Amino acid sequence: MFAFDPAPVPTLPVAGSTLQIPVRRVYCIGRNYAAHAVEMGHDPDREPPFFFAKQAQNIHVGERFTYPAHSSNVHHEIELVAVLGRGGRDIPTSEALACVYGYGVGLDMTLRDLQDSAKKMSRPWGVAKAFEHSAPCTPIVPVTQTGHPDAGAIWLKINGEIRQEGDLNQMIWKIPEMIAVLSQYFELAAGDVVMTGTPSGVGPVQRGDVLHGHVAGVGDLHLAVV
């Protein structure tokens, strides 16, 4: 018996279905496109991957993003999202793609002013990355429909103007490698979400902006900043 009612389970819808995916954890890889690493002031060489977390409750499916009151520099980061249908520990790279249930298009919304302050003081990024509704996402398209996208356009437009543009083949660490590395540190499981990094061109959004994100072969995300 619980002392009080448990919180609802965060979910992601399966595209074209009534099925819902229970979201367990959200893992995000940092600086996974070379050009983005450069624009953030880092060497684009293939350094060991690093990850940070968002909360499952940060996943947001909808067409509105509420601009946080405690930031004045909120940035967009368009990403391919992979959702696991099963997991495990120490998963070999050669077997990692078999764990993926499907893919979606997501945004890693970031409070850049808070993140910059945290970096200067060598503090965690939690508040800057894991704020409410910080992970807008489309419904998830099963692998049976998408295959495993490893090349193709990824872009973001704001008010019809291209702001971010790249190709999935520019990812430094590929999806099987991300899953394999994560499984060395965590027990992965069905419902885990992996946000796979963003191409260059990240920048601020403003209230009133209309965002359109696209990943070839996966889908489109539409979002109004309010």
Give the predicted TM-score (pTM) of the model: 0.94
Strand pairing report for 26-29 and 20-22: unpaired
d(CA 39, CA 24): 32
d(CA 143, CA 10): 21
Fold of 11-225: Fumarylacetoacetate hydrolase; domain 2 (3.90.850)
- pLDDT, residue 81, reads 98
What's the Rg (C-alpha) of the chain?
Answer: 17
Mean pLDDT, range 183-208, rounded to an integer: 97
Q: What is the mean pLDDT of the chain?
A: 94
CB 101 within 8 A of CB 128: no
- pLDDT, residue 34, reads 77
- Tens of pLDDT, residues 36-54: 555 555 556 667 899 999 9
Helix (H) or strand (E) holding 65: strand 64-65
- Comparing 45 with 60, the larger pLDDT belongs to 60
Encoded tokens for 117? 């302050």
DSSP output for 104-165: EEEE--EEHHHHHHHHHTT---HHHHSSTT-EEBPPBEEHHHH----SSEEEEEETTEEEEE
- Tens of pLDDT, residues 106-138: 999 999 999 999 999 999 999 999 999 999 999
CB 101 within 8 A of CB 190: yes
CB burial class (10 A; 0-12, 13-18, 19+) of residue 134? Answer: buried
Exposure string (b/e) for 61-73, b if CB count within 10 Å is 16 or more?
A: beeebeeeeebee
